[in-house]
Structure 1
Amino acid sequence: MKLKFLGTGTSQGVPVIGCTCEVCTSENPKDSRLRSSVMVTTDEHRKILIDCGPDFRQQMLANHEHTVDLTLLTHEHNDHVIGLDDVRPLIFKSGKDMPLYCYSRVGNEVRNRFPYAFADVRYPGAPAFDLHEIENKPFTVLDTEITPVEVIHYKITAFGYKFKKLAYLTDAGFISDTEKEKLNDLDVLIVNCIRKFDPHPAHFILPDVIALFEELKPKKMFLTHISHHLGLHDIEDTLLPSGMHLAYDGMEINF
């Protein structure tokens, strides 16, 4: 299987509008971070999108991706769902509703934000979604077993997802001991890290993820959902403990 980072940025993206810091003005492509999303390619070459934010169209074009077989949503914040309208060309091409897998709460938010996609009589150009409400237990789709990992994001629960020995967690500020048991013996753990020092009410910061790395001991850890406050990629990446890396847009991992 393969995972490709379509975006590794926070809700504002990097560069941030109006910001002139060294990260936002960097000419290194690794310092440009679209909103966080990944594409997982299964053993059968099927495409699983995790989250569909406002940069979805740009991400698909830039990465020469042409299909999405299903979409997993981590939670309902706009930087993770508001691009769903741009899935329309894929729906029209396939002639099938786009399958969405998520919490029931998230599904309700999708219905509220895209009511025209669920109307009894839809406008001919409207998207169409096939909502599947999932719980915190493994399920199999496209011949692939997927294990949700529940995390706390400020005051709401969100899902990360585990495939084989890779887990993708974004927008986490706390993980219970019970959920951490799912993260033992990983080859790859991908986790959000919004900045270096100042505590954040909803997201891990660098000391948090270093502690998590030392506790869970994955073979490799990659950081995503990165703001401009974390620093320049090529500098900060060299300062991380051995086995930890900053992810960047377009990066691929085989697992």
Structure 2
Amino acid sequence: MKNHTFTFMGTGAGCGVPSFFCDCPACEEARANPRARRGDCGTMIKGEKTLFIDTPPDLRHQCIRENVRRIDEVLYTHCHSDHVGGLLELEYLVQLKQKEALPVYGSAETLAGIAQEFHYMTYALDMREIAPMDTVEFDGVKYTALPCTHAAGTYGYLIETGDTRMFYASDTGKLPSETYERLQDIDILAMDATFWKNNWSPAAHHSVQECIEEGLSLNAGKIYLTHLCMHYDEPITLVELEEFLTQYEGRVEAAHDGLTFEI
């Protein structure tokens, strides 16, 4: 019986949708239609306790939207600002409510970056290094850190409940072979789909088309596109993207902020 939910707290690339400086069709669509708006990437897995993957700059607003009152543990994918920038909110959570250091996991590179950037609040964090291929068990769920093709020390997480195998990787180019091999026949794949058509940064990100191709090659049961910019390299509106995805008959879906399902 499924007793955990997975929520996309944010599904956008670093500049968000709409970007404040942009008047492309995708950003104009998002200004008019809340469903098309995207904050920076992060997720929540909730059972009896609550685990977050990443703490983006939009964290406070995302938590208010989802009525989050407690965070019990955090896993980090990497130390870029669009994934750690909301960490300051955790200091207030610890100081004012939870009263004990919050366990946070990441690679050696990620934790070193956090300790340097947020040196004034490390007292509020119980920082725990996790090596590639290591597994953390929390609230009945297994999280395995799998290397991704992005910044040094970047992980995606294989999430295993009693019912579901899911892989979440917000930032990655083509998956490393050791990661790819672990993900054959995965039930759910939620992966970087930053670019539409032309991929400016193939060593660090996927395009929509590349994400779908790799997901299908893994025989993933369901593919969610995330870390969507919507105006790299060519703007595409949500309406246009969803029309493009109809050819996959529901197997591929553009994730949106607040999307929740059971795992």
Match of 2:239 in 1: 234
Identify unmatched segments of 5+ residues in structure 2: none
TM-score of the two chains, using structure 1 as the length reference: 0.91
1:19 pairs, out of 22, 44, 52, with: 22
CA deviation profile, 1:180-223 (whole Å, cap 9, x unmatched): 12212221100010121112322100221121122011110000
Question: 1:55 maps to what in 2?
Answer: 58
Q: Deviation string for 1:58-85 (max 9, x for gaps)?
A: 1101111111100110000000011101
Give the structure 1 partner of residue 172 of structure 2. 172
| 1:40 alignment partner, SS class | strand
**Deviation string, structure 1 residues 95-131 (Cα, Å, up to 9, x no partner):** 1111110001111111101111136xxxxxxxx1100
1:94-109 to 2 correspondence within 5 Å?
94-109=98-113
Q: What secondary structure sits across from 1:38 in the alignment?
A: strand
Shift of 1:235: 2.7
Distance 1:213 1:118, change over 3 A: closer
What amino acid is the match of 1:140? E
Query: Please, which runs of 5 or more residues in structure 1 have no aligned partner?
Result: 120-127
Question: Aligned equivalents of 1:118 and 1:89: distance in 2?
Answer: 12
- Aligned pairs for 1:128-143 (under 5 A) are 128-136=124-132, 137-143=134-140
Q: Which residue of 1 aligns with 2:43?
A: 38
**Aligned partners of 2:49 and 2:200: how far apart in 1?**
36
Identify which range, 242-251 or 209-218, moves more after superposition: 209-218
Q: What residue identity is the alignment partner of 2:115?
A: R
Question: Does the CA-based 8 Å contact 2:59-2:86 persist in structure 1?
Answer: yes
Query: Which AA in structure 2 matches 1:250?
Result: G
Which residue of structure 2 aligns with residue 8 of structure 1? Answer: 11
Q: 1:160 aligns with which of 137, 153, 156?
A: 156
TM-score if structure 2 supplies the norm length?
0.88
The letter of the residue matching 2:26 is V
> Residue 249 in 1 paired to residue 237 in 2?
no
Residue 28 of structure 1 corresponds to 33
CA–CA distance in 2 between the matches of 1:178 and 1:134? Answer: 17
Letter in 2 for 1:133: E
Equivalenced residue count is 244
One-letter amino acid of the structure 1 residue matched with residue 135 of structure 2: P
Structure 1 segments (4+ residues) deviating >6 Å: none
Task: Tell me the secondary structure at the aligned position of residue 24 of structure 1.
Answer: helix
Secondary structure of 2:14's partner? coil
Aligned AA for 2:136? F
Report the AA paired with residue 170 of structure 1: S
